Structure 1
Amino acid sequence: DSRHPREVIAVYEDFPDNSSVHNGAITDIGEHFLNRTSNWMYNYLVKLDSPDHMEETRQAIIAGLKTLRPDVKAEVFEKVRLVQLHELYFSPEFQSMFRGNRATVYSLLTIAILIVVIAMINFINFSVALVPLRIRNINTQKVLGRPTPALRCDTVLEAAGTALISFLLAIPLIQWFAASPLAGITPINLFPVQNLPLLALTGTMALSAGVIAGLYPAWYSTSFPPALVLKGAFGLSPKGRRIRTGLIAFQYFISIVLIIAAISIQAQNRFLKSYDVGFSRDNILVAPISAAIAGRYHSFGDRLKSNPAIRDVTFTDRPPVGSDGSSWGSSYRGRQIQFNAVTVSPNFIDFMGLHVVEGRAFTEADERKSACSLIFNQTAQRQDSLITGSELLGIGAMPIVGIVQDYNFKPLHAGIEPMALIVGGTEWGKSPNASKMRYALIKTSLADVGQASAFVKRTIREFDPLARAEVNFLDEFIGNQYQKETNLSRQLILFSLLSILIALIGVFGLVLFETQYRRREIAVRKVFGATIPAVLAMFNKSMIRIVLVCFLIAAPTAWYIVHRWLEGFAYKFRMGFWIFLLALAIVLLITVLTVTLQSYKAATENPAQSIKTD
């Protein structure tokens, strides 16, 4: 800032990529704001001897604030929170820092574990299905004197080896994924070499999963007398059928829940991006501008408007919709009120198509006055009984010149809060830390959007060669406010596809098991006149019944999960029954195709050959 030069006295080491704190310049707050009690925008760090003293310290801070500001409502100070540094990432109080959602993290972790579990179930199903093919070899080794514990150890080691090989094959796949555009669905660094502790933990989990999955097949395959040559006794028993059916049903349950959740989150995401937030956003570009340009934003705006493709330009200190904001506290008629503050150009209201319901819009003269002029939204007017023409006491006597119709200036996670549009006066402009116009909003002609965007970038570089020339559509900019929801939707779609794939492998194994054990039954049915479609229908009916029962259990479970997730939004889509029907249709279609293709060979086999072989 040329008006307030700063001296660079040191360079600090960058915070790591997974830090909740942004890298950037750190400046001394100075003494300007020490006695400026209208500012509520700062986070404070407090070092305690022990976390056990947090509540005691919090109460002491609140008591001090009440003594310092007796005019402020007591409930305002009850919002004071102390959060431990390692909990900062999950804390909703620190909007200006990188944040995560604890429920989302744990939900994705749970889904990942469940997918591993259904993969283990598939391994168990296939291992049990292959027992008839391996029983001769196992029993022969028993007869030759090999102890049963050794045979079981071989089976478990085989399962562990399979899991280890899968883990090693997954490493280059993760490396490819981390370097691909798909990596954008998660904000973390996925490169294996940069996550060695996590890689080691995952490898240990893979080995453990292999060992656990191998225990039951190892016990089952060695549980028969050495003289017995098994040929399907357990496979066709009610107990064996119940176990296999239960394992497949669990896989279907997880898959259906994931599909319903993925469709619902995608629908909510579309709802958020298309919701009418209360202002015009057609053919509007958003361009962040540097401090050097902000100091000359009038000249910058005039230069932009010299292009025929640009119809109008306005400026603001923050995006039209964003989670970050400045909270002001001012005195109004002897009591303290608090509201969100947005500094704008005088033409902002007309530019955005906002409706002034009382008073007047800003004028160019407001920008030259010594005190700020304010226009509040209807929510602030109702909450604080504001009257047009009255004044707030803050940075001088600030007149309320109008009331604007409510619009959503924050993402739709939150409802509409008290807010004031401000045209900064000369007294406010004297502050070395005053809010500045950091975003240019450019309204373009529909036919010349590309040309206008290129011109804006050239003009930014013309005014500040070091500035980052970045231009986005306002719709796109608003959509980026819901990037976490977009990423979550993509992650769930990926998990859903993976779970369906694994479940289908399980179905494949189950049908393979059934056709192997029921070859003679199929042959007898065909001898007595059963057609190929009838045989295929026999296998499909049993799987369809399993899917329908799983759906009846999974649907209310998924509804509860999605309903709890939607509680984090002030605005939400209506969860219609079509979502559940679509999920059911997807699972049924894929299941029927898989079962039909797998059982077709058994259905078309020569009955005489099947009976002869059996």
Structure 2
Amino acid sequence: MSIRNIFGKKSSAVSKLLNIAGMAMAFAALYIIMVQVNYDLGYNRKIKDSDRIFAMSMPDWYSAGNWAPWLSRPLCEGAIENVPCVEYGGTLTGGFSTKFSLNEDGSGAFALNRGDASVGALKVFGVEAVEGSLDNLVQGKDLIICESKARELGIHVGDALFVQGNDGSKHQMNVAAIYQDYPNNSDLHTMDCLMNIGDQSIDDFSEWSYPYFVKLHSAEDKELFEQQAFEQIIRTYLNMAGSSGEDISEEDMNEAEARLKVKLFPLNGMYFEKTFKSPGQNGNRTTTYTLLSIAILVIVIAFINFINFFFALVPVRLRSVNTRKILGASRSSLIGGIVAESVVMILIALAIATVIVKLFCNSSLASLIPCNALFSHNSSVAVLTALGGTLLAIVSSLYPASYITSFSPALALKGSFGNASKGKAFRVGLIGFQFVVSLVLIICASFVTMQRQYMLKFDMGFDRSQLLQVNTTAKLADMRKSATSLLKTNPQIKDVTWANGDLVANSRMGWGREFNGERINFQCYPVSWNFLKFMGIEIIEGRDFLESDEQCEDGIFIFNESARDKFGLSLEDKIAGHQGDTEIAGFCKDFNYRSLAFGVEPFAFYIFGKNSWKSLNTLYIRTEPGANIPALSDWIKTQLYEMDPSVPKDEFELSFFDSSLNSQYGQEQKTSRIILLFTVLAIVISLMGVFGLVMFEAEYRRKEIGVRRVNGATVADILKMFNSQFIKIVLVCFAIAAPLGWWISDLYLKSFAYRMPVYWWVFALSFAAVLTVTVAVVTLRSLSAVLSDPVESIKTD
């Protein structure tokens, strides 16, 4: 079989090149999406004995029906020590970006993502040293570093590293071991180094900030551990309270039992778990399966084209096939030749797909997926894609090959095969399926993109204009009064304020307090005295903070109206603050302090007063309209560096508030871009299918076109004839796709507390876009047949 056999004459060569191009794009899309799906579905599963590892949790105090991983060390350590079905157990928490240097003078500086772990946690996760030893790690003196990062930085066992504190101090740590890297799709991969947490808060029953993990002797012991751990924790709780339980009221005991109930979540399932606030990364099962569905649909659309292109070549190939039959070729050999041809085309498409994937990996589009898409990192996915594509090519080409070789020589001479109603209905049905998929994808992609824009433009209840923010240091936070005065000397700066972390964040410090005999829970956000005025947050009762509040003894609250209404608070009430009963200065209007996927719940602004134990190291700066932002940013960095030289100037990263807000919707942005990208791809491949079907129609109706032209039909009349059937197909497909697209889009939008309406015009525009492009493709492809010499067409046929 030669290249000439594969591509044939010019007309069939064009169709085959389009077919190969469509398949190449589909294979590249399938591979890239399957890399993402494989990453998601395999998250944490490659960790040794992951099926026996569980995260401990207790009921979430702030969200009924959910479970929290942040636990008390003495309660968990007691359970692990006294429950027999536990092999190992311990605490592991990470995500701390820590500054190190190779020398005490600060030279050779770099940052590592640090994890803090107990010795038991190292055993739970099977941390293995490739150099050095994990034994006898000393808290505050030793650390271990992952192999890849050690190799990158040229670090060896025994080296001294210097940790930089927020106050600029340096603390020496020794590299005790280098441990084996963890898979990319695991929570431990996000940690570059680990430190021994030692006995930190080991006896502190009031500190609930430690995630705990256990490795059981058998995964089947899950329910046994939950029961026995709960019983042990209740005993520890009673011992802590100095009671046998008889002098504790039944109501208090019931509350303790409700709040201390233990539930285990499998390490393998934490990534997708919605009711558990995982301390690691989170995925979205719906998004993963949506991408998988899109991948399947794209490859199905491509193989529909594959089949249709073979049918489109029937008029061109039928005479040569039947000539070979007359000359003695068996039908099986003819079918085998056509199948072999299709396999070669698929192999060419796979080769082109590898180029597309490499281009993807080297482009900005690579950031759309959380993992590396290189073949060397995903060999199993690459092999399965190639084998699956080849198998589908064989299966898909069998029917067209059987169809082409089924005609008798006499029928071939008549040329009436193209009018067979059964074959025509089959081809139209395949094209119709492509149109339905394309329309649904366009509708869904439109609403996903529009919802993200809706969230970014939504009035969240505070002033976001001309707003910059930067994370500073504890030293600068302590100097914030003088820092504010200095910064406001710049005429381009309108005002300045300070807070503990981002204003809009899906998680922050939560406080549980007793009020009127009940437990109330609310999010707490420490700020400076002018924060609400700076942000334009309206006080609806009472007063705003005063500068003198920063010198009060016990702190002071301003609650939102949701907290006031839910808990029945008034200005005369007092709520326990950080060191005693604290006054309520006022109540502010509700605003959105989390992404719009969440509703508004009880929230409090808080000023610590004289005795603060939280640093207000997030600086907000409102600029004057028309400010020179690049120059102003450089000036601000210079002033901050001069006030605290312990941090290099360039490490003060100023950003627009809207940019930080946009990062809250990072997953929605990636999802919308991925869906949009593959929607465009599906449409392009579908239009290639339309091209193939029009080519088929034009070839077998060439004589009919010639007769019509001779009898007076205009070019417009014949183009109308060709377009009318496709317009009908699009109309029928839209009738199917519209309700399906509405249902899927509405289901997606329901996941947001604040959502846009389902607009009718999105459906109308989707229909108009598909119809316009289809008519354009049909017209352009059929034009050559319509404009050809009608006399020659009649003679030829």
TM-score, normalised to structure 2, is: 0.71
Q: Residue type matched to 1:576 in 2?
A: Y
Whether the aligned pair in 2 keeps the contact of 1:66 and 1:72 (CA below 8 Å) is no
Task: Output the TM-score relative to the length of structure 1.
Answer: 0.91
Looking at structure 2, the residues matched to 95 and 283 of structure 1 have their Cα atoms a distance apart, in angstroms, of 35
Do the aligned partners of residues 523 and 141 (structure 1) sit closer, same or farther apart at CA in structure 2, a change above 3 Å counting?
closer
SS at match of 2:449: helix
Asked if 1:409 is matched to 2:588, the reply is no
Q: How does 1:37-436 map to 2 (within 5 A)?
A: 37=206, 40-58=208-226, 68=237, 70=252, 73=255, 77=259, 81-92=263-274, 93-94=276-277, 97-225=280-408, 229=412, 232-291=415-474, 293-294=476-477, 296-393=479-576, 395-399=578-582, 400-429=584-613, 435-436=614-615
User: For residue 600 of structure 2, what is the amino acid of its counterpart?
Assistant: I
Which runs of structure 2 are paired with 1:443-462 in the superposition (5 Å)?
443-450=622-629, 451-462=631-642
Q: Corresponding residue for 1:432?
A: none
Once the 2 structures are TM-superposed, how far is the Cα of residue 470 of structure 1 from its aligned partner? 1.5
Distance 2:537 2:223 in 1: 44
- Structure 2 CA distance for aligned equivalents of residues 600 and 386 of structure 1: 76
Map Cα deviations across residues 371-413 of structure 1 (whole Å, 9 max, x no partner): 3322211111222222324223363214133222111000000
Quote the offset at 1:496 in angstroms. 1.4
Query: Are the equivalent residues in 2 in contact too, given 1:283–1:449 (CA < 8 A)?
Result: no
Q: Distance between the aligned counterparts of 2:760 and 2:479, measured in 1? A: 55
More strand by percentage: 2
1:230 offset after TM fit, Å? 5.5
CA contact 2:578–2:608 (8 Å) conserved in 1: no
Cα distance in 2 between the residues matched to 1:350 and 1:72: 43
8 A Cα contact 2:498 2:531, kept in partner: yes
Q: Secondary structure of the equivalent of 1:447?
A: coil
Note if contact 1:73-1:336 (Cα within 8 Å) is conserved in structure 2.
Answer: no
Q: Residue type of the partner of 1:410? A: R
The 10-residue stretch of structure 1 (148-157 or 291-300) with the greater mean CA deviation from structure 2: 291-300
Looking at structure 2, the residues matched to 442 and 351 of structure 1 have their Cα atoms a distance apart, in angstroms, of: 9
Select 2:702's aligned residue among 519, 530, 540: 519
Counterpart residue number, 1:465: 647
Cα deviation, residue 425, structure 1: 4.2
The whole-number CA distance in structure 2 between the counterparts of 1:94 and 1:391 is 30
Structure 1 counterpart of 2:635, which letter? F
1:588–1:207: structure 2 CA closer, same or farther, 3 Å change rule?
Answer: same
Structure number with higher relative contact order (C-alpha < 8 Å, ≥ 6 residues apart): 1
AA aligned to 2:676 is: I
Mean Cα deviation higher: 603-612 or 509-518? 603-612
Alignment match of 1:547 (pick from 724, 730, 736): 730
Per-residue CA distance 1:487-541 (angstroms, 9 max, x = gap): 2111121111111111111111111111111122222222222111111011111
Q: Mean alpha-carbon deviation: is it higher for 381-390 or for 113-122?
A: 381-390
Shift of 1:571: 0.2
- Once residues 529 and 158 of structure 1 are traced to their aligned partners in structure 2, the CA distance between those partners, rounded to angstroms, is 42
The amino acid across from 2:462 in the alignment is: F
What's the counterpart of residue 18 of structure 1? 185
Number of residue-to-residue matches in the alignment? 608
Counterpart of 1:54, as a letter, is K
- What is the rounded CA distance, in whole Å, between the counterparts of 1:315 and 1:57 in structure 2? 45
Are the structure 2 counterparts of residues 191 and 46 from structure 1 closer, same or farther at C-alpha, using a change threshold of 3 Å? same
Provide closer, same or farther for how the CA distance between residues 19 and 309 of structure 1 changes in structure 2, counting only shifts above 3 A. Answer: farther
8 A Cα contact 1:285 1:453, kept in partner: no
Q: What is the root-mean-square deviation in Å for CA atoms of aligned residues?
A: 2.8
| TM-superposed deviation, 1:192 | 3.1
Is residue 439 from structure 1 mapped to residue 604 from structure 2 by the alignment? no
Q: State the match for 1:35 in structure 2.
A: 204
Distance 1:58 1:580, change over 3 A: farther
What SS does the corresponding residue of 2:653 show, helix, strand or coil?
A: coil
Q: 1:72 to 1:562 in 2, by over 3 A?
A: farther
User: Which string of whole-angstrom CA distances, capped at 9 and with x for unpartnered residues, describes residues 210-259 of structure 1?
Assistant: 22222212222233347764553332111011001000000000000000
* C-alpha distance in 2 between matches for 1:530 and 1:311: 74
Moved more, 402-411 or 524-533: 524-533
C-alpha distance in 1, partners of 2:504/2:535? 12
The farther-off stretch of 321-330 and 582-591 is 321-330
Instruction: Please report how far the alpha carbon of residue 169 of structure 1 lies from its aligned counterpart in structure 2 after TM superposition.
Output: 1.1
Shift, 1:72, TM fit: 8.2
Tell me, which stretches of 5 or more residues in structure 2 are unaligned?
Answer: 1-164, 239-251
Bigger mean CA offset, 48-57 vs 225-234? 225-234
Spell out, residue by residue over 1:65-114, the C-alpha distance to the aligned partner (whole angstroms, 9 max, x if none). 67749378579739965322122222233365432211111111111111
State which drifts further: 162-171 or 405-414.
Answer: 162-171
